[in-house]
């Protein structure tokens, strides 16, 4: 692994830990040339190649884009970063289990909503409002009204 500071190719691993329930590996590295420490992450590359948008356009699947949309929904919510990473990994693993190389963006949205409802109800409502394209307060009231009978199940 090339050192990001001096670009030496002789870095060595000082610590290795599984993260995201063993789905990824975090490695602490030390560069013997400059003495700097840095961290690298290894993640399994899945077979999902493309996302089909509602417009019919295809774009490459991007884990970071999925993660960012979840982060927006969870902004200023009491959720830890490792919980977010776990949610993203769970959604991607569930999508991978579908066995498709092309996935509709609506399918991704449904899986994210399913994961968010169990993590943070406010984030679930935020994400849903964008995903379902709420246009006014009545849309929010109707959606929240549907949640209330199930509120005990939501945690």
pLDDT in tens, 25-41: 899 999 999 999 999 98
pLDDT in tens, 87-119: 998 999 899 888 888 999 999 999 999 999 989
* Res 9: pLDDT: 92
**Spatial distance between the Cα atoms of 14 and 114, rounded to a whole number of angstroms:** 38
Average pLDDT, the chain: 88
| This model's pTM is above 0.75 | no
Contacts 24+ apart (CB under 8 A), 144-148: 147/121
**Which residues are CB-contacts of 43 (< 8 A; sequence separation ≥ 6)?**
20, 23, 24, 25, 63
């Amino acid at each position: 692994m090339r050192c990001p500071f001096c670009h030496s190719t002789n870095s060595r691993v000082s610590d290795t830990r599984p993260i995201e329930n063993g789905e990824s590996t975090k490695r602490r590295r030390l560069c013997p040339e400059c003495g700097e420490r840095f961290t690298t992450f290894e993640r399994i590359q899945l077979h999902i190649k493309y996302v089909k948008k509602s417009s019919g356009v295809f774009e490459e699947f991007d884990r970071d884009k999925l993660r960012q949309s979840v982060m927006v929904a969870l902004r200023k919510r009491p959720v830890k970063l490792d919980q977010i990473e776990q949610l993203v990994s769970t959604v991607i693993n569930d999508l991978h289990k579908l066995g498709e190389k092309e996935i509709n963006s609506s399918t991704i949205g449904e899986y994210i909503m399913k994961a968010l409802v169990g993590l943070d109800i406010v984030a679930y409502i935020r994400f849903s409002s964008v995903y379902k394209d709420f246009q006014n307060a009545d849309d929010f009231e109707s959606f929240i009204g549907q949640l209330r009978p199930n509120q005990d199940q939501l945690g």
